[in-house]
Chains A and B, each alone.
Chain A
Amino acid sequence: MKIHICLTGIKTIILDCNNISQYSVFLINSALMNRRDIMSAVNPDQYSYPSVFIYGHRATGKSHVVLSIMKDLELPHASVDCVECVSSGLLFHQVLSAFFGPDAAALLPRCPSLSDFVRLYKQMSSNSPATQTRYIILDRAERMRDMDFSLLPALLRLQELVNDNVTVILLSEIVWEKFRPNTGCFEPLLFHFPDYSKGKSLVQILSWDHHPSYTPELYASYINILLGVFFSVCRDLRELRHLAVLNFSKFCEPLEKGEAKESDIHKLWKNIEPHLQRAMQTVYLREVSSVQWEQQQMDEKEATTLRVLSAHAHIELPYYSKFLLIAAYLASFNPARTDRRFFLKSHGKIRKTNFLKKHEKTSNHLLGPKPFPLDRLMAIFYSVVDSRVAPTASVFSQISSLVTLQLLSQVGHDDQLDSPKYKCSVSLDFILAISRCVCVCVRLLDLLALSLVIQSQVVRQERSLFTAVSNLHLL
């Protein structure tokens, strides 16, 4: 019996926050919390470890649980989000005003250094000594690494520096090894907040905000369908909740229209599944805002056609700009020595050489666009465009506007006026979409694009394609 008591005694000596992970399980699994259990573990009237580091994925409840404990037990705490603290002075100001009132914070000089903060803290705490442990909670602590280099090590040992009963709690997504300064520092206690499992926790939490006019079972089945589509892509609780809220009205459409009953899960699934797939390509990627998405859902209720909403579908370019862009893409991704073969009407004999040099084994598509001079762009442009184009200023000005639209990017210095160099910044999908709009020689351009894709393959195949291309040219 004695040993048991002693062991439980040792157990409760663990820092207060060790029970936080159990606290989060409490929150999730049961509506009632056994407050007495937690109260016996947390003992703010004594000293606690100078610093604690809590890490875990996004939306696993780190800030929520820590702040709830602080509020419920009414512990003196200062909660600071490090993203807001552009300068360390803001951090000091917030901490001092939370513990000692705004008058104390006003005593800080204009650009306070860490030395001023510690001195002021010592002064204030000697005037009002702590009866309970004070907690400083620093959310998104990875930003502290970019502030003054001595801020993080000093805060980790703040208890020693100010000689007061204070604990610093750091919350972050990133692991502790990436925080440690070069010469080492005081190691905090590490705690991990585990991520939610699909079956037990995630479904349960998401089912909490069910709509009042429908049964919880219906909502649970909706959540299961949603997770079936999105769980393999994203596990962030916030994102999943957002998506659940946005798409629920669409899910309930057949029920409202009277086409299906609540138990016809299969029908409801067939209705919602393509909608969710589209949501993955638009709302999930934030290509459209949630307001636009809801608007589109309202419009769809009247019409029955499905429209794909995407930012890319809306770029309208002038006629020659499209050709310029296609020429730029070909210039970026084809090596210069293949130009002769591609774009001249009579290219002479094709030498059967080892087409690809050793270092070019990786396809150009994987390495990125290469810069090209303006002359080459114009040469390819003239051979690609269907009609005769005179080199007027209007054509050249379209190149500048493409640069402004960031479809092309300029390489090199702005001062280089005689031979500017450019790079194409758009992807193959965009170019193919544009080339489809251009009604001339779509096949030619498609073939050219294809030949680039298979560039790393055998020379034989290439030659047949080239003959096909050259035949097209002669047409």
Chain B
Amino acid sequence: MSKRRSLTEAQCVSLAQKLLRERLCHQKLPDRPLALDSQYKHLLELLRRTAVHGESNSVLIVGPRGSGKTMLLGCVLRELMSLKEAQKNVLLVELNGLLQTDDKIALKEITRQLHLENVVGDKVFGSFAENLAFLLEALKKGDKSSSRPVVFVLDEFDLFAHHKNQTLLYNLLDVSQSAQTPVAVLGLTCRLDVLELLEKRVKSRFSHRQIHLFSSLSFAQYVDAVRAQLSLPPDFPDPKFSDAWNHSVTKLCEEKSVEEILRRHFNSSKDFHRRWCADLLEASRLISADSKAIILHGLSILELCLIIAMKHLNDTYDGEPFNFQMVHNEFKKFIQRKSHSIHKFEKPVVMKAFEHLLQLELVRPVDSGVCKVQREYQLMRLMLEHGQVMEALQRYPQCPTDVKQWALSAFA
């Protein structure tokens, strides 16, 4: 009889940490995707038909970023591969639009994933179609009557549509329409208008089957989902610890302030990826901070005055682009008339401060790249809004009062 030593507190915590990290940071596949049952069934059925019955299919999975497309596909493929017939026969080719930026690279990748590098060897093919046909021929089994079904997964499908002539898409969908090999083409994309990107000949070969993943969770379901993500699974080694943990997580989710934060996040984005599970208040503050206002906090007084001068120019001239000379002029007017604390700076020093603002991309030239115009006369635009500048001014440490009053005055 083995004596199982109960784990110490620290070990429990670190084990819990490990589990939760794996779940949240590494995006381990859940047993069943949440609230996506109909889509799951649809996709599984489609793939089963290809794998078992030899039907060719094409489908697009469309949904905004973070709605669970890859997760859904992962779960479906996992279940598919657990079927005995599928396990023996089905070949999986996974392509990604970010990595395979060219059709040639994509073809090499397909060859590699089908393990046909030796078969292809040094052969030179006339066209893409010939190459693909050769590959699929090579997959036929010994009796030459049937061939193994192949599932092509195209991640970032919209990027494949930007390749030249869309050859890869055309050929894959062509194969899926003709009855040679049972092929399933699955595209995942975040663009709703992806069909507009396809050429006419490619679009006609596509089966126009789309699975949409729009997150339709209500707030209560969202809170439940958060709680489920933070809770420990039932097979945790120390049941007492996991019970206590789950209990406190439930209590946490019911607290008023936490509910407020969750509601704010629910209203802004339903992204399943961003499961910040930190000290919730601090994390929510970090996420919703205005980064530009933070950057404005660290500017020197001279740079801040230049930004206020630009704001005044924007107000006076209704957002028309300005150049450094105009900004310097406004600044000089302020120094001469209203300022007590800021003394006059030489023009090159002011120019250096202006260039720092350019480097931080708070000011951008209207037509970047044209260098025939002198630096001082190049037209620029301010990349900040009126409200952002005023808010940054409020938070600026030890801001001189005359600067503040200048910013608030309507007439510069």
Contacts and interface: CB of A to CB of B under 8 A. Distances in A.
Nearest to B105: A115
A177 interface: yes
Contacts of B24: 13, 49
B277 A10 contact: yes
Given A113-B101, A150-B101, A48 B299 contact: no
A220 interface: no
Interface in A163-179: 165, 173-178
A285 B352 contact: yes
Contacts of A183: 158, 190-191
B287 A190 contact: yes
A18 interface: yes
A175 B96 CA distance: 28
Contacts of B348: 281, 285, 287
B257 interface: no
B181 to A, nearest CB: 24
Contact of B289 (A192, A198, A233, A425): A192
Interface stretch (A69-77, A208-216, A365-373): A365-373
Contacts of A192: 286, 289, 291, 294
B16 A9 contact: yes
Contacts of B287: 190
A222 interface: no
A366 B333 CA distance: 14
Given A13-B17, A55-B291, A183-B158, A6 B249 contact: yes
Contacts of B376: 368, 427
30 contacts: A9-B16, A9-B17, A9-B245, A13-B21, A13-B278, A47-B18, A49-B24, A55-B295, A114-B98, A114-B99, A148-B101, A150-B97, A160-B70, A173-B359, A178-B361, A183-B158, A184-B64, A186-B273, A198-B397, A232-B301, A232-B302, A233-B301, A233-B349, A280-B346, A280-B349, A285-B348, A367-B377, A368-B373, A369-B374, A411-B372
Interface in A57-94: 57, 60
B227 interface: no
Contacts of A43: 14, 17
Interface in B269-302: 271, 273-274, 277-279, 283, 286-287, 289, 291-292, 294-295, 297-302
Interface stretch (B134-142, B204-212, B323-331): B323-331
A366 B325 contact: yes
A154 B294 CA distance: 28
B405 interface: no
Interface string B194-232: 000000000000000000000000000000000000100
B167 interface: no
Contact of B325 (A49, A50, A177, A368): A368
A234 B349 CA distance: 10
Interface in B328-361: 329, 342, 345-349, 352-353, 359-361
Given A186-B273, A235-B300, 12 more contacts: A46-B18, A113-B99, A115-B99, A119-B109, A119-B112, A148-B101, A161-B98, A197-B397, A232-B300, A233-B301, A280-B349, A411-B372
A118 interface: yes
Contacts of B123: none
Contacts of B297: 194-195
Given A11-B278, A425-B374, A115 B298 contact: no
B158 to A, nearest CB: 7
B349 A281 contact: yes
Contacts of A186: 65, 273
Nearest to B191: A183
Contacts of B346: 280-281
A48 B398 CA distance: 39
A13 B323 contact: no
Interface in A2-50: 2-3, 5-15, 18, 43, 45-50
A18 to B, nearest CB: 7
Interface in A188-203: 190-192, 194-195, 197-198
Contact of B13 (A9, A60, A118, A119): A9
A367 B321 CA distance: 11
B215 to A, nearest CB: 15
B260 interface: no
B133 interface: no
B20 interface: yes
Contacts of B302: 232-233
A161 B99 contact: yes
B22 A47 contact: yes
B380 interface: no
A190 B99 contact: no
Interface in B71-103: 96-102
B277 to A, nearest CB: 6
Contacts of A231: 300-301
Interface string A360-382: 00100111110000000000000
Contacts, number: 184
5 closest cross-chain pairs (CB), A and B: A195-B298, A368-B377, A175-B291, A232-B301, A47-B26
A297 B302 CA distance: 28
B98 A154 contact: yes
B330 to A, nearest CB: 10
Contacts of A365: 325
A161 B299 contact: no
A45 B11 CA distance: 13
A55 B298 CA distance: 12
Contacts of A184: 64-65, 190
B35 interface: no
B13 A233 contact: no
B251 interface: yes
A206 to B, nearest CB: 16
A309 to B, nearest CB: 13
Contact of A284 (B98, B349, B377): B349
Contact of B25 (A7, A47, A175): A47
Contacts of A115: 99-101, 105, 108-109
Interface string B171-201: 0000000000000000000110000000000
Interface in A217-267: 231-235
A285 to B, nearest CB: 5
B17 A12 contact: yes
B248 interface: yes
Nearest to A9: B13
B124 interface: no
B366 to A, nearest CB: 13
A118 B326 CA distance: 50
B408 to A, nearest CB: 20
B370 interface: no
A148 B102 CA distance: 12
A101 B397 CA distance: 48
Given A281-B346, A368-B325, A191 B377 contact: no
B363 interface: no
Contacts of A47: 18, 21-22, 25-26
B27 interface: yes
Contacts of A48: 21, 25
A153 interface: yes
A6 B248 contact: yes
A409 B372 contact: yes
A72 B16 CA distance: 26
A249 to B, nearest CB: 23
B248 A153 contact: no
A312 to B, nearest CB: 10
A159 interface: yes
